[in-house]
Structure 1
Amino acid sequence: MLAQTNSMLLGSPASITVLAFVGFATISSYSFHWYLTPVLAEDKTDRARWLLRHRSTHLWLFISGTAGAAIYGIQLLEHWPWLLFAAAITFLYSAPKIPHPWFRLLRRIAIGKTIFLAGVWMFVTTILPLGISGEKWQPVFTLFCISRFFLIYAICILFDYRDREHDITLGIRSLITWMNEKSIDRLFFISVIIFLAASITLHYYDLPFSSIISIIIPGLITTLLYSYSKKHTSDMLYYFILDGLMCLSSILYYLFP
């Protein structure tokens, strides 16, 4: 996703150092998040059973990912404000899971945690590489950020819908635990409409038609899967298909002529 941002908006390949930093940092933050995630007794999913047996794997992945991010982060010290901000917002998403009263308090006020998560993904894969590049900010950058944010947010809504009971049990608040069915549907489709509008408008900034199509396709697939995903909670659907839709645009971008 980061490489696509560089190629599509800057016309240049992404820095290997930046790619390595973000890759290791992603492994670190993901493993940190799941290492701290408790498994409820009623949770019988494959994911929950795997986590119970292999929680230490996440610990070692966290240590390895953090070490790798530190090694490549040192090479990017001249961009430390961007890296520090990215690290801070990434940490804050998982902070409510830390078993300490100060961090538990965040569970009660994190009503916009899904918005926050989508914002983190968008920032790391778009604003971070654009900021590090030193290029002057342009309207096309803003449109691309809006497009990517609302695609990720639409996908995150489905994850939050699936996890509503789990979040309520743990005392974690979100818009999805607070809203009723119709409001959730409305929020999802508004997100998709904004995503489509921003994506189509990118064409007016001379982005090739094939690039626009590569951006739009994942949003259309997400919309088609919305009703099905609300009724089915398989790990394959969520962690392979829906998660995969976030990076599908990048894959299509490099496949299309």
Structure 2
Amino acid sequence: MNTRLSIEKYFRYAGELIIYGSIFISLCAVSMSMETNWLLHLPLNHFFFYLFIFSATLFQYNMHYYVKTTANVHSARFAWSLVHKRIHLLFIVLGVAGILISLKFLTLKHYLALLCIGIISAMYSLPVLPFRKRKRIKDFGLLKIITLSLVWTLVTVWFPVIHLHDIDKAFWLVFFRRMIFLFVLCLAFDIRDVPVDARDGIRTLPVSIGVKNAYLLIDLLLILFVALSVWNMFEMPEPLPLAAMIISALATYWVIDYARKHRHDMVYLLGVDGMMILQALLVALSIWFTQISG
């Protein structure tokens, strides 16, 4: 019995380390980046490119929680972060190391893209806007979620193919479909945080339009996501990638509905965020089956 409890405790700790230490979300960023190349029928980037994306995400998220001092008192992730500041610091150092190792393998176009992404990210987090009370993009509800979705889309769609592919209709279809998908995931997290955001006077989109309307917006966006996938099939007539996107949309709808009733951090960080990895796996399988059947 004691051995069984020790094993369960070990797996629980390992799971919390992977999820709360932002290893999982870093893998999500890598998987979404790889998916872009598969969808556009481009070769994957080299290992150090994906090391850069993984390391940058690991650094960003761990830095955020390392300096974070207040959050929802019921947040399991925040409670874990308060106790494990040293782990956040370790992952920050590892993230910086990974970034430095991989930087020399990036191209000039990558550096220009990083400059654009960095400027948008700085405006999101730093008080640089010329307004009296709201000086950061994150202080504006709708602009906050659009910017967050845009940055993730730039990192996982534009950044991986900027040196490999022209900006054509196929690219834009992938770009806008990805942004809609990421917007849906971000909106689910904003819905979860409505009680805290409303209390603190943060006018996120769900606070402004109401939780019921926010869930309705998610449904409409998932329908738009599928519609763009159908359009994409007419541009690139491959039914299996379309099936992958439809399954991804249905799975995302189910997970968000489940999270609606089970608001634990693990449900969101593993389930909702996990839709990124699921979609990438579905696309990889669809491309593989298309190739072997052709």
Coarse TM-score class (shorter-chain normalised): 0.7 to 0.9
Task: Say whether residues 1:39 and 2:67 are aligned partners.
Answer: no
Query: Structure 2 regions of 5+ residues with no counterpart?
Result: 1-31, 290-294
Q: 1:132 to 1:37 in 2, by over 3 A?
A: farther
1:14 — aligned with what?
Answer: 45
Return the alpha-carbon distance in structure 2 between the equivalents of residues 220 and 94 of structure 1: 33
Q: Name the TM-score, length of structure 2 as normaliser.
A: 0.76
> Which moved further from structure 2: 191-200 or 161-170?
161-170
Q: 1:29 to 1:95 in 2, by over 3 A?
A: farther
Return the alpha-carbon distance in structure 2 between the equivalents of residues 91 and 59 of structure 1: 21
2:17 — aligned with what?
Answer: none
SS at 1:223's partner residue?
A: helix
Q: Per-residue displacement from partner, 1:92-119 (whole Å, max 9, x unpaired)?
A: 44447xxxxx997325335421221111
1:151 — aligned with what?
Answer: 181
> Which moved further from structure 2: 172-181 or 194-203?
172-181
* Offset, 1:44: 2.8
Task: Say whether residues 1:210 and 2:211 are aligned partners.
Answer: no
Return the alpha-carbon distance in structure 2 between the equivalents of residues 223 and 252 of structure 1: 16
1:123 — aligned with what?
Answer: 154
Return the alpha-carbon distance in structure 1 between the equivalents of residues 151 and 230 of structure 2: 23
1:138 — aligned with what?
Answer: 168
| Alpha carbons 2:134, 2:140 under 8 Å: kept | no
Return the alpha-carbon distance in structure 1 between the equivalents of residues 162 and 242 of structure 2: 23
* Offset, 1:91: 4.5
**1:66-81 superposed matches below 5 A:** 66-79=96-109, 80-81=111-112
1:108 to 139, 143, 146: 139
2:10 — aligned with what?
Answer: none
**1:135-214 superposed matches below 5 A:** 135-214=165-244
Which residue type is aligned with residue 49 of structure 1?
A
| Alpha carbons 1:110, 1:172 under 8 Å: kept | yes
* Offset, 1:156: 1.3
Which residue type is aligned with residue 66 of structure 2?
Y
Q: Per-residue displacement from partner, 1:164-193 (whole Å, max 9, x unpaired)?
A: 222234443321221123431332122112
Q: 1:103 to 1:125 in 2, by over 3 A?
A: farther
Q: Per-residue displacement from partner, 1:56-100 (whole Å, max 9, x unpaired)?
A: 32233223212321332233252211122223334444447xxxx
Return the alpha-carbon distance in structure 1 between the equivalents of residues 125 and 89 of structure 2: 15
Return the alpha-carbon distance in structure 1 between the equivalents of residues 140 and 246 of structure 2: 34
| Alpha carbons 1:39, 1:52 under 8 Å: kept | no
Please say which structure displays the higher CA radius of gyration: 2
* Offset, 1:129: 1.5
**1:234-249 superposed matches below 5 A:** 234-249=264-279
Query: Structure 1 regions of 5+ residues with no counterpart?
Result: 97-101
RMSD in angstroms over aligned alpha carbons?
A: 2.4
